[in-house]
Structure 1
Amino acid sequence: MVPLQTKTAFSLLQSPMMPSQLVASAKAKGYTAVAMTDNDVLYGMDNFYRAAKSADIKPILGLTITIQGLATSQHYPIVLLVENQTGYHNLLAISSLLKTTSDVVTFDMLTAYLAGLYIVLPSVGELPVILGAEPDRAMDMVQSISAVSDANHVFLGVSTGMRDELIAQLRQLSENTGARLLALTEVDYADPQDQFAAQVIRKIGQGEVIANVAQAQREPATAYLESADEWTAEFVSRGLGDAVANTDWIAEHSEFELVKSKVTLPPFETPNGQTSADYLRELATTGLKNRLHGLSVDETAYQERLAHELDVIVELGFADYFLIVWDVLNFAHKSAIRTGPGRGSAAGSLVAYTLWITDVDPIAYDLLFERFLNPERAQMPDIDIDIPDNRREEVLSYLHEKYGHERVAQIITFSTMAQRAVIRDVARVFGLNPTQIDALSKSMPRDAADLEAAYESSQPFRNALIDLPVDGELLYQTARKLEGLPRNSSLHAAGVVLSADPLVQTMPVQLGEDGRLVTQLPKGPVEALGLLKMDFLALSNLNILDIALREIQKTEDGANFNIANINLNDDATLRLFRHGMTNGVFQFESAGMKNILRQLQPDSFEDIVAANALFRPGPMQNIPHFVARKHGQEKQDVPDQSMADILAPTYGVIVYQEQVMRVAQQFAGFSLGGADLLRRAMSKKDGAKIAAMKTDFIAGAVANGHDEKVSEQVFGYIETFAQYGFNRSHAVAYSKLAFQLAYIKAHYPAAFYKAVLNDAIADKKKVGAYIAEAKASGVKLLGPSINHSWQGYSMNKQGELQMGLASIARMRRDFRESILKERQENGAYKDLGNLIGRLESKYRKVEQLEPLVYAGALDEFGFTRKSILASLQGFIDAIGLAGESMSLFASLTPKVREIEDFTPAEKLGYERDYLGVYLSGHPIEPYLSAIPDNSHTDISSLAVGMNQATVVIYVENVKKIRTKKGDQMAFVDGMDLSGSISITLFPQLFQRVAPLLVPEKVLVVTGKVDQQRGRDDIQIVANTIVEASQFIKRFENQTEQVTATEPGTGRWYLRITAAAQAAGALDALNAVVMSHHGNNPVLAVYEADGKKLALGQRNWLSAGDATMKALQEVLGANNVVFQAD
């Protein structure tokens, strides 16, 4: 007995059973073969095939398709099963046909694809419906199918649930037509206890509710996979032993392989009949001359490297591949589409550099070709291409036009039912309302790996389940069964597949929303089939760079600016990195990265590359050593001095995979190809390969004159680091893009902020941070203007930024577009009446115009905002009376009724509501002007590890919760001029300061800075909180008291190391000043840049042991000196 009609989770939202679960269940229940027959699609075929092969069970691939009936106009299912390789390819074609046509599919449409397939008319279908009433039509139907295929390939499905009379009729029909009976029971889930989960997932797909959950749970299971013995016995008891035997017959005769095909690239059409190899050499040679023009370099080294790379590429048969990629990039460059400097190991190829595929000189940065294309591994090269997110469509269109729609497809991906989403889905099916669903979802912890972990770790989540008006335990257990299943399909963010032949010959495809082909298989199986995959990644940072460069070139001093010529060791740019001022800088924006930069204090592009490579899971553990060695606080030990030059740029720490390769090459005599194989084995922790290659390494090292014991140490050293090493080619390429953005930020801030603000316009938190930074850097920001704003942020000739109309909340996009269109066509709006008179009638409503007023966009009309608001209805009524007669409207137009404007606080509040930022001022400013700068830190300068950070915040929101013990604590969202921060108050502090925790209050908070759990954002865990007004009074009183005392007796000298600065020493010093204020001058020396700073009198200190002890605790015993007069 073999199950031949099974549905898996890849019949989306119809089954809770993954193909691998189907195989495992079939194996456990005594089957030697099993079929997968999902509805119309072959999404799971690779998963199914490989699971079956791994379990040593025979896979039979099939489809359940629904087509228009042969004898009626109704639609009925037919099951198709693969007999052989021809049938396999025909099954691909049929699934593709079903998923690429909107026409009603008939049997006639399939006749060309039925060779090599078994056709099964299932027990629930058209045939049983017509058989009893019209046996002749039933016979005609079966004979017409047999005529297209043959009777030996046609089967009549029977099930144990059929009436005896129907079974007898089907047996008679079988005898009359030659089509055999086939034991067939539909399987939707593995076990009886899964029937309820199957109901729920179907209801999720249908968007319906289960009316009676308890009753549905008790329903009998009918579509589960019974054991082979049970099913056989059931069918035999009904006299259907032959139908069971026929399932075995199909399994015995079904033979197909899911084999990796030979990569067939579309042949590149070269000019003048040249071979691909010759044309590639010509392009690369010309490209090298262009790249080296005007440079003082060893041209021979470049020519030899190029010749070597070209020989490898041609010998491996990849010339067409490089030409295809070059052609796409050539199209992009001719179309003024900015592409990235490189991605992944491709930046290590000189050929790619000469073809302008990449923009990083691999020789200058010691990047290795063999890390990209290893002749000893001979795998298809993988060149990923970054394209601005707003130009990717143009590149895809070019590929389709050049190679044909049937040969190009984007790659599918599947969104799965993640823990929070599946809880919401199941709760909806259980009948909970949106409020209840939200509350349940919010009770779940953010950082749990899965539902089980969420349940085990969170009492609030367990309580929320208990408190539900439905069976919370059943809801949770059902969600667990569905967690991780595919929910819907979408497009892979980057993947595009390209073939010399129509793709349907190799894999199933379907139509995407744009009418282009999409693979039915995800990325992994596509690559396993041997097809050429190219990644075109949409990168918004390239659009940011492009916008900024266009703005720079409009300015007088930037007309000839070329980003390619910037100094990658520019000090002004490096200063931004040292201070962690990297908002808007690609890959350097996170709080953790900023913290690393402040510790590292980078003074070269190489340091930026290293930071990029190190700030990743795994390599992170080497950051403390790297920083300490850079600052001379840790010895740069290496097992052998022959490694010193290789590891010198990274202070003796192996940061890059290429360093592992260089050590293997120079120390042990490996070829770079062999060194790449060693690097690969170590990074994958392949014990067997590592052991084998260790023998070769030791032997090679000894042959090179090294001591065997030292060679063992060197191997152990690189093995330790290699598993965490990062691809240097990728790090250099992406760091170059980051540096370019940072350079613009340092030298052309207005252009930079225009670009990043437009990119982040929908992200109010980012917009607020960018605006604060822009103001701090001296960029003037103008509010929205009815006559000067466009949709997004714009930059005028004076270098000022103007907010766009899209920045205004509650303003419809079509209204904004209408305003701008009218202004472009007929000129500026002269006054309020002129504006209202020129609006389309549907927009002449007070509620449409109010956002413009509150945001200040109508200020240029010369009236207060409150006056304009009070006058809107009168103007609207006047134009209504005048009809469309502007002359009559002019005579009826009322005057603006002038009244006193909003208070400054009210105006700021409306700006915050409608623009997301405070524009004309900030509620915190009056307090900051009275608080010394050195007594607190800007939020944007906070870093993880600061133990005593002090910030001045404007309270935006307060969330109070109870701990497991029932004590109250709170989370406060606060902001200053530089950004926002979350502050945690544990119960003890909360009890003392609860009355202060009120929105719109200004507070001074001191505490430890650390990472929020499960998020990149930082937070302050507060230990003291006071009102800003009280803080100011306290400081002023201390200053007055000190001023009245005797003169000082000496001078303090403080050395502030980079490590102490990164750990928050400056904030801790402020606390020392508060406690030990005195009349002794203080001179601070900053170790990082040697800067000396004489602190102002407000920061002078008292003499004495208590002050000395407090300073030494912050700075270290060797960094504090008191010199008596």
Structure 2
Amino acid sequence: MADFVHLHLHTEYSLLDGACRIGEMLDEAVRLEMPAVAVTEHGNLFSAVKFHDEARKRGIKPIIGCEVYVANGDRRNHSGTPGETANHLVLLASDMAGYHNLIKLVSAGYTEGFYYKPRIDKELLADHADGIIGLSSCLKGEVATHLCRDQASRAREAAASFRDILGANNFFLEMQYQGIDDQQVVNRGLPPIAADLGLPLVCTNDVHYLRQGDHHPHDVLLCIGTGKNVDDEKRLRYHGDQFYLKTPAEMAAVFGDFPEALRNTVAIAERCDVDLSGTVHRLPNFDVPAPFESPEDYFASVARDGFDERRPRLQALRERGALRHDVEQYERRLTYEIEMIRKMGYAGYFLIVWDFIRYARERGIPVGPGRGSAAGSLVAYCMRITDVDPLELDLIFERFLNPERVSLPDIDIDFCERRRGEVIEYVTRKYGRENVAQIITFGTMKARAVVRDVGRTLGMSYAEVDRVAKQIPQTLDMTLAKALAENPALGEMQRTTPQVQELLDVAQRLEGVTRHASVHAAGVVIAPAPITEFAPLYKKDDIVTTQWAMNEVERIGLLKMDFLGLSTLTLLHDAVDHIRRSTGETIRLDGIPLDDEKAYRLFGSGQTLGIFQFESSGMRETLRKAKPQRFEDLIALNALYRPGPLGAGVIDTFIDRKDGKEEIEYDTPKLEPILHGTYGVIAYQEQVMRIASDLAGFTMGEADVLRKAMGKKIASVMEAQREKFLTGAVERGLATEVARKIWDLMEYFAGYGFNKSHSAAYALLAYQTAYLKANHPACFMAALLTIERQNTDKVALYLGECRDLGVSVLPPDVNESEWAFTVTPAGVRFGLGAIKNVGDGAVESILAARRESGRLTSLNRLCEDVDLRLVNKRVLESLVKAGAFDGLCGDDAASGNGTHRRRRSAQLLAAVDGAIEHGSRRQRNRDRGQHELFGESEALQADGTAMRLPDVPSWTEGEQLAFEKEALGLYLSGHPIDRFRRELDRAGVRAIEALDQPAASATVAGIVSQRRDLKTKKGDPMAVVTVEDRGGRLEAVVFPEAFRKYGRLLDVDALVTVNGKLEIDEDAARLIVSEVRPVDALLSAAGRPLAIRLTAPPADRATLEALRSVFGRHPGNGRVALEIELRGQSPPLRVRARLNRVRVQPSDRLAEDVEKVCGKGALSWG
């Protein structure tokens, strides 16, 4: 063994502190001929399994350890100054007992001792000391801290306490040296303590990065973690460049005077022996009811009983001549699957899944029809784990489970997003709270993200970093190396700009490094005993997870389940509920016909906003081309609309063959039954398996091995598989050349092939949503708007979809609205829960007041009946601004008289304080048993319905829309740009929602809703603004040159037209601004006069004088024409007169002033 072994090392899993990638570090250890190495993350075991397995692959002994935080006192005392409540201590597992104790220690650090850091204490360490070797750690260790403070006696006491806990042979005083003065003090103080207490010395280097030259990227990484700039003198930093993986010779050069400290690293490594090789499945126990004696027997019974429940459907299909396979084939397939599952030992697994799905269904929690390869199992279909008939859709069981697969079957389940937690809670109760946890996941620094992180830390401006980041394509698996190879412009920036060179050099060193830990969206572990018997725990925000990610959890044999929350299931449930409430019709989703003409017409039109998996602009365009007419088409499109097939033109081939534009040819008639459903295109992995089986005699298990090898392009396996396929195909009658051609076809398409089982299950969900949208649009849109109520961008988009569907959207109303969007005979009513600042408690209080007192007749009456702690001033003002009181404004407002509505709304907003005071007084009196004369307030008229309102100026139309936007996050009753839409259309200005393709020049018009002022590195001003029209919003970037010209025009609430280069990435669009103009300037330039229509009467002198005054307030270059209608004639006579001496500046305010004088709709352009 070498003369030195690293025992104190941090990988990237010491988050935003360690910069060593595990693979790179181990490769370097191999190069340096190191026989062993330890990994000691800060307070966690995140990397333990991955490190262990990668080290074993390379023939290096892995030493599993952790640099823990030891509390200065009781770990459960969560108080004190951050940074002074704990010291560091390196712990190494010498054997399996120590490994399990280490798991328990780091778990308790998070679940019991977390206070800024995950802390243990000496009491806990003593309880779990068996098999543990301790090192006194770095300058932040307890012994070193006292020595640095010239407290030698306290340092001795600390060392003695660890000796007593761990044993004299198991605690080592740790020497380091990276050129830091304090470390020299510690190194001088440790030998006397060692001699006095009989403790051995050991030397380490506290490795945080791989090579000496990595100190700068590591420094940047620290800044990313602390949110600091590298130029900040007061920030956390590691002094010097010595925290790297030094060679044994380099360590000997530093610690030559302490040979025993060097030798002890080797001795410790020899003592440590933790072997996690092999996977033992650890399934929780499933209790079976009497009279069944085993899970296997109960499983078979449940599966067969489930088939009996499915049998009537099969018989009904057979009677209609629609059953593709006879019932006997189903029975044979069922028997085969049951026996295979029992033989492989997975009966208990299926029962566990069946049980919690049954729980969900019994409680009305929506469950998805399936996902992944499990949809190919008839057993899963019979047990109601899935709702996809695998025989009807030619799905393959072996794609899911076969003897060649050594891992546990993987059944992922979709639940209603709103109620998923109920199922997890059921599982937690059933198997024990200590036995169930969610799973951690780690986020890494991707190509664009790491450039932005590093650029910000280096002090570069947003504009400069953005310019570089935008040169990195947003494609799957993009890396900085690939971006530099594919984009010459990026390479040129790197070569010619020193700052960009530094940015990219550092970013490439940090690219892919783990950045943060979070909770996996769906993963849950169910263990047969407390999870800390098998894996460490992590806790954040009161959520307990494993410290190991999905792959590592499965690797050690724990049962991992995916409980996915899918909003589409919530959408379907709510839409069906709306249909039942509004029509009385009860729809069973599993009874929807799969040949509904309206549904396919919807798909073919591309009107699929809100349709699961078919909503993106690219998919909508594909649907318009493909015009799907059967369910199989939807399965195929869902499978083919992915980067690989799209890039290879496969989807175009599919469409052309479907439409008869390209002939379908089969190299052998044996391919026709396999590929006819996809018009001769290999779209699915299952088709590759079927070809291998039917044409070359592969078993389905062997075919699955081939499918994996092709999909992952495993060359070593592919050559042997090729020879096997060619031999088998020729033996079964194919010519060698034909067999080779088919192999090449399989190899080409297999890289793009998708899991048909998954595609079929999700196509079914898509079809169900489309069926409801096509046949019950109002109910569907009400459910969709409720689900997306917090996403104002999507709500605005879906409101436009409502208009296209002919569904009216009614404003919120305190008497008519519920919490959610609801369906009425007149359309969809806006929900109170979607109004900003109106919380769930406030909504419930209003609804309760309605239930208790009936219709609310005034603002005062509402304040009398609601809980004013919940329905406070902020809530009431938001309700008024949202138009929720318009229904109380009398018949004029209800019928659309905007002037009256705006006046009453202004009065109600001014009356809020008085109404709250009135309501509070009435409630106090009511509580005291006092009643006012006649039981009514003095603020009410005799009929008890009207209240006296303050005399305040009316809102303008612009103010009303602005308040509406403030309260709803969008414009509902109108939009400031609406009055110019006709003229903008004539000028070729497109609606924002119609922008779906990149363009060198594009013009939009709208209101500036947000503006963020920035500066470049040179200090030049620029801005990022958001422009929105009625149907959408768009980010526009105004770089310095454009900002100098047009920045003054881009104030918030300005109405503008913006021209520039349109960029679109993954359905997100943004405009690089080249020109900005006020909307009214565009209209003036069009040369069309402002036309004002009057009737005579009342086109009297007073009206004309009022108009003259308006014109005087808005001087400009726009021409004006009057159209006067003389109603005394029959038919009425219209007279048009151009006012040659009058010139005005067209604007929103001018339009409002004219309409105040002449009435709504009196003004137009033309």
Q: TM-score, normalised by structure 2?
A: 0.77
CA offsets per residue over residues 184-229 of structure 1, 9 Å max, x none?
Answer: 3433333444445545544554556667459999953353443321
**Displacement after TM superposition at 1:639 (Å):** 1.5
Map residues 1102-1117 of structure 1 onto 2, 5 A cutoff.
none
Q: Tell me: CA distance 1:842–1:38, structure 2 relative to 1, closer, same or farther (3 Å).
A: same
Preserved contact between residue 930 and residue 1032 of structure 1 (Cα < 8 Å): no
**Displacement after TM superposition at 1:760 (Å):** 1.0
**Displacement after TM superposition at 1:105 (Å):** 3.5
1:705 is aligned to 733
Map residues 833-912 of structure 1 onto 2, 5 A cutoff.
833-836=860-863, 849-862=876-889, 864-870=901-907, 872-873=909-910, 876-877=913-914, 880=917, 884-885=921-922, 887=932, 890-891=937-938, 895-897=948-950, 901-902=954-955, 907-908=960-961, 910-912=963-965
Aligned AA (2:101): N
2:801 is equivalent to residue 754 of structure 1: no
Q: Tell me: CA distance 1:811–1:555, structure 2 relative to 1, closer, same or farther (3 Å).
A: closer
CA offsets per residue over residues 491-528 of structure 1, 9 Å max, x none?
Answer: 1111112222332232222335345x411111122222
User: Which of residues 4, 8, 11 in structure 1 aligns to 2:7?
Assistant: 4
> Using the alignment, how far apart are the partners of 1:188 and 1:984 within structure 2?
39
User: Which of residues 249, 259, 265 in structure 2 aligns to 1:241?
Assistant: 259
> Using the alignment, how far apart are the partners of 2:831 and 2:445 within structure 1?
38
2:920 is equivalent to residue 920 of structure 1: no
User: Which of residues 22, 42, 62 in structure 2 aligns to 1:59?
Assistant: 62
2:293 is equivalent to residue 274 of structure 1: yes
**Displacement after TM superposition at 1:244 (Å):** 0.9
Q: Tell me: CA distance 1:820–1:418, structure 2 relative to 1, closer, same or farther (3 Å).
A: farther
2:1130 is aligned to none
1:226 is aligned to 246
2:366 is equivalent to residue 332 of structure 1: no
Q: Tell me: CA distance 1:254–1:475, structure 2 relative to 1, closer, same or farther (3 Å).
A: same
Aligned AA (2:309): N
Preserved contact between residue 222 and residue 236 of structure 2 (Cα < 8 Å): no
Match of 2:937, SS state, is helix
User: Which of residues 351, 360, 364 in structure 2 aligns to 1:323?
Assistant: 351
**Displacement after TM superposition at 1:755 (Å):** 0.9
Match of 1:390, SS state, is coil
1:109 is aligned to 124
Preserved contact between residue 451 and residue 480 of structure 1 (Cα < 8 Å): yes
**Displacement after TM superposition at 1:679 (Å):** 1.8
User: Which of residues 557, 566, 574 in structure 2 aligns to 1:547?
Assistant: 574
Paired residue total = 1018
2:529 is equivalent to residue 501 of structure 1: yes
> Using the alignment, how far apart are the partners of 2:1049 and 2:918 within structure 1?
54
Q: Tell me: CA distance 1:1028–1:345, structure 2 relative to 1, closer, same or farther (3 Å).
A: farther
2:50 is aligned to 47
Aligned AA (2:168): A
Q: Tell me: CA distance 1:317–1:674, structure 2 relative to 1, closer, same or farther (3 Å).
A: same
2:206 is aligned to 186
**Displacement after TM superposition at 1:765 (Å):** 2.2
Q: Tell me: CA distance 1:1030–1:572, structure 2 relative to 1, closer, same or farther (3 Å).
A: farther
1:291 is aligned to 310
2:276 is equivalent to residue 261 of structure 1: no
1:832 is aligned to 859
User: Which of residues 576, 582, 590 in structure 2 aligns to 1:564?
Assistant: 590
> Using the alignment, how far apart are the partners of 1:106 and 1:875 within structure 2?
57
Map residues 431-830 of structure 1 onto 2, 5 A cutoff.
444-445=469-470, 447-448=472-473, 449=478, 481-514=509-542, 517-558=544-585, 560-620=586-646, 621=648, 622-796=650-824, 798=825, 800-809=827-836, 816=843, 818-830=845-857
Preserved contact between residue 341 and residue 358 of structure 1 (Cα < 8 Å): yes
Q: Tell me: CA distance 1:465–1:848, structure 2 relative to 1, closer, same or farther (3 Å).
A: farther
Map residues 294-443 of structure 1 onto 2, 5 A cutoff.
294-295=315-316, 296=318, 297=323, 298-418=326-446
Higher mean Cα deviation, 542-551 or 211-220? 211-220
Q: Tell me: CA distance 1:366–1:175, structure 2 relative to 1, closer, same or farther (3 Å).
A: same
**Displacement after TM superposition at 1:400 (Å):** 1.1
Superposition CA RMSD, Å: 4.9
2:173 is aligned to 156
Preserved contact between residue 902 and residue 957 of structure 2 (Cα < 8 Å): no
Q: Tell me: CA distance 1:932–1:845, structure 2 relative to 1, closer, same or farther (3 Å).
A: closer
Preserved contact between residue 19 and residue 36 of structure 1 (Cα < 8 Å): no
1:1104 is aligned to none
> Using the alignment, how far apart are the partners of 2:993 and 2:184 within structure 1?
79
Q: Tell me: CA distance 1:97–1:647, structure 2 relative to 1, closer, same or farther (3 Å).
A: same
Preserved contact between residue 354 and residue 383 of structure 2 (Cα < 8 Å): yes
2:125 is equivalent to residue 100 of structure 1: no
Higher mean Cα deviation, 743-752 or 814-823? 814-823
> Using the alignment, how far apart are the partners of 2:144 and 2:822 within structure 1?
70
Preserved contact between residue 867 and residue 897 of structure 1 (Cα < 8 Å): no
**Displacement after TM superposition at 1:284 (Å):** 1.0
Preserved contact between residue 493 and residue 500 of structure 2 (Cα < 8 Å): no
Preserved contact between residue 339 and residue 388 of structure 1 (Cα < 8 Å): yes
> Using the alignment, how far apart are the partners of 2:145 and 2:1070 within structure 1?
66
Match of 1:497, SS state, is strand
> Using the alignment, how far apart are the partners of 1:924 and 1:1001 within structure 2?
7
> Using the alignment, how far apart are the partners of 2:123 and 2:235 within structure 1?
44
Q: Tell me: CA distance 1:837–1:686, structure 2 relative to 1, closer, same or farther (3 Å).
A: same
1:1065 is aligned to none
Aligned AA (1:89): H
Q: Tell me: CA distance 1:362–1:940, structure 2 relative to 1, closer, same or farther (3 Å).
A: farther
**Displacement after TM superposition at 1:668 (Å):** 1.8
**Displacement after TM superposition at 1:2 (Å):** 1.8
**Displacement after TM superposition at 1:719 (Å):** 1.8
Aligned AA (1:345): S
CA offsets per residue over residues 1022-1075 of structure 1, 9 Å max, x none?
Answer: 99x9979999999xxxxxxxxxxxxxxxxxxxxxxxxxxxxxxxxxxxxxxxxx
Match of 1:402, SS state, is helix
1:17 is aligned to 20
**Displacement after TM superposition at 1:803 (Å):** 0.6
Aligned AA (1:915): L
Higher mean Cα deviation, 994-1003 or 808-817? 994-1003
Map residues 1006-1017 of structure 1 onto 2, 5 A cutoff.
1012-1015=1064-1067
Map residues 957-976 of structure 1 onto 2, 5 A cutoff.
none
**Displacement after TM superposition at 1:981 (Å):** 7.4
**Displacement after TM superposition at 1:5 (Å):** 1.8
> Using the alignment, how far apart are the partners of 1:70 and 1:842 within structure 2?
44
**Displacement after TM superposition at 1:425 (Å):** 5.7
1:91 is aligned to 102
2:96 is equivalent to residue 80 of structure 1: no
1:1099 is aligned to none
> Using the alignment, how far apart are the partners of 1:79 and 1:175 within structure 2?
21
Preserved contact between residue 33 and residue 58 of structure 1 (Cα < 8 Å): yes
Unaligned runs of 5+ in 2: 76-83, 890-899, 926-931, 941-946, 1090-1166
> Using the alignment, how far apart are the partners of 1:599 and 1:714 within structure 2?
29
> Using the alignment, how far apart are the partners of 2:112 and 2:444 within structure 1?
26
**Displacement after TM superposition at 1:108 (Å):** 3.2
> Using the alignment, how far apart are the partners of 2:227 and 2:303 within structure 1?
57
Match of 2:9, SS state, is coil
Q: Tell me: CA distance 1:286–1:71, structure 2 relative to 1, closer, same or farther (3 Å).
A: closer
Q: Tell me: CA distance 1:89–1:899, structure 2 relative to 1, closer, same or farther (3 Å).
A: closer
Preserved contact between residue 70 and residue 141 of structure 1 (Cα < 8 Å): no
